Structure 1
Amino acid sequence: MRMTKQTFITAFALFSLFFGAGNLILPPFLGYNAGSSWWLVLLGFIVSAVVIPILAIYGHARLQGTMLDFAKKVSPLFALLYGVIVYAISIALPAPRTASVTYEMAIQPYFDISSLTLSSLYFILVLVFVLNRSKMMDIVGKYLTPAILIILAIVIGVGLFGEYEPMRASIFDNTITSGILEGYQTFDAIGGVVVGGVIVISLGFKNSTPTENKRIITQGGIIAGLGLLFIYGGLIYLGALRSGGAEVTDRTALLSMLSVDTLGAVGSRVLAVLVSLACFTTAVGIVTGTSDFVKGIFNNSQLAYNITAVLGCVLGVVMGQLDVMSIIAVAVPALMFIYPITIVLIILNSLPDKWTTVLVFRSVVIATILFSAPDFWASLGFSEQMKGIQEFIPLGTVSLGWLLPAVITLIAVNVFTLSRKRTT
């Protein structure tokens, strides 16, 4: 398998665009709560935060298009509505969360600067990168990602040789499922369909052929996925090692403890740099992807791209005034609604065309929407009303009631289609 310099730049860019606020603060706390069962929670987390996002990149490599192409087999109107919802969620929740995490962990402990001031400066810099997007991928891939990886590798490597109390038992009723659902909060499946388009368009600026683009994106996605696997595994294990010690109830506090444990007094400052880099690159990817989407809707209007970039950064400043936990709480219902649809679209776009006809796309998406509805309404506060329905649906009690119906529908529609062909 031939690897080029551009492949590694793309892989580093993908890793950096994926690896943001949630990817830093969620895994250690997940491992802390899983304790000795950390490897089970890692398996679940890998499914939703590594495998599915990398399949999204592969889907983009096959399509060589935009978000609209991702859902077009359902219908053009559905594709448009889906794209609008995904980008609205992305620009309103994970992008501002990067500013909130940066402020709480990298700025507030050291500088007497208000959240509003930090968010304003932060998103002005994001805007500069977004408006110069032809150079963005090289800058992110060549410089920012290596810095992130080096810092993380040091933290994890040193942390493995520390002295800790014995791990406690997992607090989760279903450890693997808890890992899957916590992976939702990384927004990486959504990130895959968002930044995948950014990478496709960015490679287009380099005059690569579609075949070359597909190879670069696919190989880059695999390398980025291996990087994410290594980092998530290390952070979850470090959190599990800390589970036998003092009680910790805050995600960001645990991450700060781990950095001090591994790097001593300088650890908090190293963490501040790491948080800033990881959050910034993700914010750039989200705003760029959203601007690309709107640009495509308005006949490739550069003005539409620029206006969306400015408005997205303004929204980031406004929403960035919320603290991290508030943004995570707001995100749960949105994720329960859009994540199942996103996952099935990613899988369908990764399968061979003969298994994913228009009828298959429509049937699987409809089944997913219907059977994920109870989880969505429960997350809005109607858990008692939805309890009976969730208990009736297989895996409904662990918020995965849509999974089996989607798989069964995929198989059933393909069998039906094949049987019709044989009888005609």
Structure 2
Amino acid sequence: MTNTTKKFSFLDYVGIASMLFGLFFGAGNLIFPIFLGKQAGSLVSISILGFLVSSVGFPLLGVIAIAMTRSNGLFDLTSKVHPAYAYFVTILLYLTIGPLFVVPRLATVSYEVGLSQVFDSPSPLYLMLFTIIFFVLVLIFSLKPGNILDIVGKFLNPLFLFFLSFLIIASFVFPMSSLDQAIPTPVYASTPFLKGFLDGYNTVDALAALAFGIIVVNTVKAKGVTHPKDVSSHVIKSGALAVVVMGIIYVALAYIGAFTAPVYGDTQNGGQILSLVASHYFGRFGQVILFLTVALACLKTGIGLITAFSETFIDMFPNGPSYKTYVILTTSFSCVVANIGLTQLIQLSVPLLMFLYPLVIVLIFLSILSPLFNHAPSVFLLTSLFTLPVAIIDGLAQTPEHIQQMIGFVRFYDQAKETVPFLSVGMGWIIPSLIGFIFSFILYRIRQNRSVSP
């Protein structure tokens, strides 16, 4: 009989926490907190707190949600709302962490951190050549992954963290400026916590948590723990350990970004800032080392995401294209999208993230609270239906102005802001979601009382 009461040692927790850290912490997790710091300036402390809630807290809750609901993955979890909803959210989420945003971003981050700062006059041609080489390597290893992820990961993560720790120490011991000199941008000056919270969406880790949470759960089970409460407990403890490490790095990077605000005022994204900081403290050698470690990390993550994307779509559509076809199409499309450029890619992704995140956050909280209503599908469905319209509005509000004008959205949005609380700050989904949950929960309780009445 399986031992369901197996106790974890500290090394067991460290091992799972390390794996969770590796799943979540990619190149994007470097560029967004450091750019937040540059924009938040002297208000970096308040801003990073908001960032930590959405970039660290929600991913941890997402993994816990997978564990508590005993789901077999994202599709299984979203099926609690409705099968059609499960297909819609799963496809859109995997497209987001795949070829629409995260995978192309891996190449552009590598380029911005390294080569764009090496050339005096970088051109789109350099970016195109780099992305072609990058995605050819991703394609080769994705077709036959083998043990490349394990081999690279065992050496790369320690090397990366080792170099990053030197960069962080140097930045704090010899800061480029003082926080008093770092003037926050207007949006951070007015709502620092909320802006930091929304910026945390860019890490997409809450989305990834639902996609990869089952990996963590299965790892715990593989160590001989099968009782649901024990599995959840070990996942929470391991996740908390990973969260602490991620949080420390985020805070440190945010402060480094704030120190650079008076010095590098014309930088457009965090990749540029990170490269300039490495060059400032360690010269060209430090810049090259940073580029190599980030590029290898991005390559490893790209292989993992392309592989996960292709395998997921094969499972969802068994009569569709082959694994090889999915890999080739996804890699090719990602290469094309990557040539938009990092800054433009981030801007284009915001509407999609503003739409997806409310749906994901609500799903996470419903999953954690689901024991209160015995996992009733009606509560999942009604709450999600109340959330969906405002999530669409939040997404459209972040589209380019000419698109809003073309579809007549501007006048509607101005009127909606007067009636929907928090809509003007990108959080309009909160009240409708609460109303939907309370309403569906009351209906559930009424049905329960009727079913037990004599």
Whether the TM-score (by the shorter chain) exceeds 0.5 is: yes
Tell me which residue corresponds to 2:362. Answer: 344
Q: CA-to-partner distance for each residue in 1:140-163, whole Å, 9 max, x for gaps?
A: 652222222222222112211114
Report how far residue 6 of structure 1 moved. Answer: 5.9
Change (3 A) 1:284 1:214: farther
Provide the secondary structure at the position in 2 that maps to 1:248: coil
Tell me which residue corresponds to 2:415. Answer: 388
CA distance in 1, matches of 2:154, 2:13: 12
Provide the secondary structure at the position in 2 that maps to 1:351: helix
Which amino acid is the alignment partner of residue 445 of structure 2?
L
Change (3 A) 1:124 1:331: same
Retained in 2: the 8 A contact 1:96–1:319?
yes
The one of 29, 32, 43 equivalent to 1:26 is: 32
Tell me which residue corresponds to 2:192. Answer: 175
Report how far residue 387 of structure 1 moved. Answer: 2.1
Report how far residue 325 of structure 1 moved. Answer: 1.1
Q: CA-to-partner distance for each residue in 1:105-145, whole Å, 9 max, x for gaps?
A: 22344589843443233223334544455746633652222
Provide the secondary structure at the position in 1 that maps to 2:173: coil
- After superposition, residues 121-132 of structure 1 pair within 5 angstroms as 121-131=133-143
Q: CA-to-partner distance for each residue in 1:291-330, whole Å, 9 max, x for gaps?
A: 23112124599x7333322322222222222211121121
Find out whether 1:190 has 2:207 as its counterpart: yes
CA distance in 2, matches of 1:198, 1:321: 32
CA distance in 2, matches of 1:193, 1:234: 27
Which shows bigger deviation, 1-10 or 263-272?
Answer: 1-10
Retained in 1: the 8 A contact 2:108–2:338?
yes
Tell me which residue corresponds to 1:253. Answer: 272
Q: CA-to-partner distance for each residue in 1:164-223, whole Å, 9 max, x for gaps?
A: 23343432221111111111112222222223345567889x796655876665444333
Change (3 A) 1:135 1:208: farther
Unaligned residue ranges in structure 1 (runs of 5+) = none
Tell me which residue corresponds to 2:436. Answer: 409
CA distance in 2, matches of 1:307, 1:12: 32
Retained in 1: the 8 A contact 2:156–2:293?
no
The one of 330, 352, 355 equivalent to 1:334 is: 352
Change (3 A) 1:43 1:391: farther
Retained in 2: the 8 A contact 1:185–1:335?
yes
The one of 79, 91, 97 equivalent to 1:90 is: 97
Report how far residue 384 of structure 1 moved. Answer: 2.8
Tell me which residue corresponds to 2:257. Answer: 239
Find out whether 1:372 has 2:379 as its counterpart: no
CA distance in 1, matches of 2:429, 2:379: 16
Find out whether 1:73 has 2:80 as its counterpart: yes
CA distance in 1, matches of 2:303, 2:234: 21
CA distance in 2, matches of 1:218, 1:134: 30
Which shows bigger deviation, 347-356 or 126-135?
Answer: 126-135
Report how far residue 44 of structure 1 moved. Answer: 0.9
CA distance in 2, matches of 1:361, 1:292: 27
CA distance in 2, matches of 1:21, 1:346: 25
Unaligned residue ranges in structure 2 (runs of 5+) = 1-6
Which shows bigger deviation, 110-119 or 42-51?
Answer: 110-119
Q: CA-to-partner distance for each residue in 1:13-72, whole Å, 9 max, x for gaps?
A: 332332223212111121111112111111111111111112122223343512211201
Retained in 1: the 8 A contact 2:171–2:256?
yes
Change (3 A) 1:395 1:126: same
CA distance in 2, matches of 1:300, 1:199: 29
The one of 330, 337, 340 equivalent to 1:322 is: 340
Find out whether 1:59 has 2:71 as its counterpart: no
Find out whether 1:11 has 2:17 as its counterpart: yes
CA RMSD of aligned residues (A): 3.0
Q: CA-to-partner distance for each residue in 1:233-269, whole Å, 9 max, x for gaps?
A: 1100111222344523422332223223443443322
Tell me which residue corresponds to 1:101. Answer: 109
CA distance in 2, matches of 1:233, 1:87: 28
Retained in 2: the 8 A contact 1:198–1:285?
no
Tell me which residue corresponds to 2:445. Answer: 418
Which amino acid is the alignment partner of residue 399 of structure 1?
G
CA distance in 2, matches of 1:276, 1:123: 12
Q: CA-to-partner distance for each residue in 1:55-106, whole Å, 9 max, x for gaps?
A: 1222233435122112011111210121111112222211011111212322
Tell me which residue corresponds to 2:172. Answer: 160
Report how far residue 398 of structure 1 moved. Answer: 0.5
Which shows bigger deviation, 35-44 or 290-299?
Answer: 290-299
Retained in 2: the 8 A contact 1:152–1:231?
no
CA distance in 2, matches of 1:198, 1:307: 25
Corresponding pairs, count? 422
Matched residues, percent identical? 29
Retained in 2: the 8 A contact 1:19–1:279?
no
